[in-house]
Structure 1
C-alpha cells in the first residue's frame, strides 16, 4: 500500500507547477494519495516553510512522505536531501534551512542525499530550475509508493551538517518572558510565539492577569501595551487584544475579531522579539 505524499511549495496555484508535480507522482504510481499542505508559503520564505512542516507533520500517520519546495537556490550547489524524523516521517527538501524546526523540536535520525542519477524524472536532465517536479516530487512518489526504500535515495548525509536558520529559544529574565514571533495565523492575523505554555506558567502568570506586552524588530519598538491572558477570545471584548495559548501549546497574541499583524504591521522571524511581564500601574495607549 502506498504511503501518503504531502506537498508544500511557494508556487501558488495560479499556474500549472503544482499540477505538474501531481502528474509526476501519479505517473510513478496511479494509486498514490497526494495531499497539499500549502502552496501559499511567501516566495523564498524558508523560515515559514520550516514552521509549517513543524506545525503539521506530527498529526500525520507514520511513514508519510513530505515534499517541501521553497528553493531560492535552485540550480546551485545546494544539496537535495531526504530526512527521516524521530517519529518516522520522511521529508524531501533542499538543504537550505527548511528542516530547522523539525530538527530542533522533533528530531532527525538519518538523512540521505538524493542521487539524481537514479532519482530524477526521465528526460529532465537539462532542466535545472524545476527540481520540485523533476527531483522532489519524483523521489517522493517513488519512496511513498515503495518503488525505492530509504536506503536507495542516495548516500548518507551527516545530520550535524544539515543547514539550520538562526532560531532563538524563549527564556525568562528577571520575571520577563522573552521570545520571538515565530509565525502568523495568516487568515486571522494572530501572532504565534515560540513561548511554550509550560514556560509561561513557570513565570507565575495566571488566566485573567494583565500583562505588559512589548514587540520589537531589531531593537526598534513596534508595539507596547497592556492586555489580559485569556482562555479564549470570549475573554476579551470585540476589538481588544489578548494573550492566549494556541493549538501548538504556545503563546499567541490576537485582537478579538481583528488582525493584530495588519493593525501593527508585525512580521515574523528571528528579528521579531516579544517581551511579556506582569503589568504595573502604567497603561500604554
Structure 2
C-alpha cells in the first residue's frame, strides 16, 4: 500500500480535488489518500508551508506528499519532485516545501521535465496539479525511480522561504505570527522550549497577554499565551477567536517578556 497526502487551496466546492484523485487512481489504483487540507487560503504559500511542516512528522514513512498551492502555475517556476529521508514531495518549487526541508534535509531532487510521466505532453497552463503533479505522484507510488522523472537539481537551489528567525533578547524574545489556524489562534515562530521553566507574558499590538498552560486556565473570552500542540508559542482566546479580537495578521510581531 502506498499513501499520498494531499494539500491544496482548491476548496471542496469545485471538482478539482476529485480530479486529482481520479488521475492518480487511473495510474496507481492501490494508493490510499490522506487529505491534509483543501482549505488553504487561495495562493497562500506561507500557510501551505506551515501546514505541511506541521503535518509531516506524523505521516507514515514512505508517504508521497502532493502539495498544490501554486500562484505561479504556467510560469517559469519549476515543477519538482524531492526525496527526503522519509518520503517524497511533489509540487511547485515556490517555497511551500521549505518548512519540511528545514526539518528533513533533502536527499535528491529533480525538475519534472519528462513528459512521458505527465497526463499529457501538452499540459494546461492553469492546472499542473492535474496534468503534471498528480501523474508524477502516481508514478512514484508505482515505483518509478525519482531520477527517471526529470533532470537532477542541486538541492541547494530549491526555493526556500521562511520568516525572519526569532531573536533572543536580555529580558525576553521577539518573533512573528507565522500562521493563524481555523480557531483564530496565532501561531508564532517562537519555540516553546524558550519559555520552559520561565514566568512570562506576551505582547502583541501593545496588548499584554498572560501565559498559561491550557485554554481552560482563562475565563471565557480571555486572551492567553501558551505553547500549542505543534511546539510553538501561540496567542489564543478561551472560547473565542484571538485573531479577530486583536485584529492581528500573519507577520505581526510578537514579543515575550521574562518576568523573573
TM superposition score category, shorter chain reference: over 0.9
Contact 1:116/1:135 (<8 A) preserved: no
Aligned to 2:241: 259
Partner SS state of residue 126, structure 2? coil
Aligned to 2:163: 167
Partner SS state of residue 160, structure 1? helix
Aligned to 1:196: 191
Aligned to 2:95: 97
CA distance in 2: counterparts of 1:126 and 1:53, whole angstroms: 26
Shift of 1:143: 0.6
**1:152 and 2:132 correspond:** no
CA distance in 2: counterparts of 1:184 and 1:4, whole angstroms: 28
When normalised by structure 2's length, the TM-score is 0.94
When normalised by structure 1's length, the TM-score is 0.86
- Superposed CA deviations along residues 19-51 of structure 1, whole A, max 9, x for unmatched, are 111100110022211221111111111111111
Partner SS state of residue 101, structure 2? helix
Shift of 1:267: 1.6
**1:205 and 2:185 correspond:** no
- Superposed CA deviations along residues 100-129 of structure 1, whole A, max 9, x for unmatched, are 21122332222111123222003x615221
Aligned to 1:68: 67
Q: Among residues 220, 245, 259, which one is paired with 1:238 in the alignment?
A: 220
Q: How many residues align?
A: 260
Q: Among residues 273, 280, 283, which one is paired with 2:253 in the alignment?
A: 273
**1:127 and 2:109 correspond:** no
CA distance in 2: counterparts of 1:183 and 1:18, whole angstroms: 24
- Superposed CA deviations along residues 145-185 of structure 1, whole A, max 9, x for unmatched, are 32x12222222111111112242111211212111111112
Q: Among residues 177, 181, 187, which one is paired with 1:185 in the alignment?
A: 181
Aligned to 2:232: 250
Contact 1:243/1:251 (<8 A) preserved: yes
CA distance in 2: counterparts of 1:149 and 1:19, whole angstroms: 26
- Pair 1:126–1:233, CA change in 2 (3 A): closer
- Superposed CA deviations along residues 222-270 of structure 1, whole A, max 9, x for unmatched, are x2223222111121111111111111111111111000011122221xx
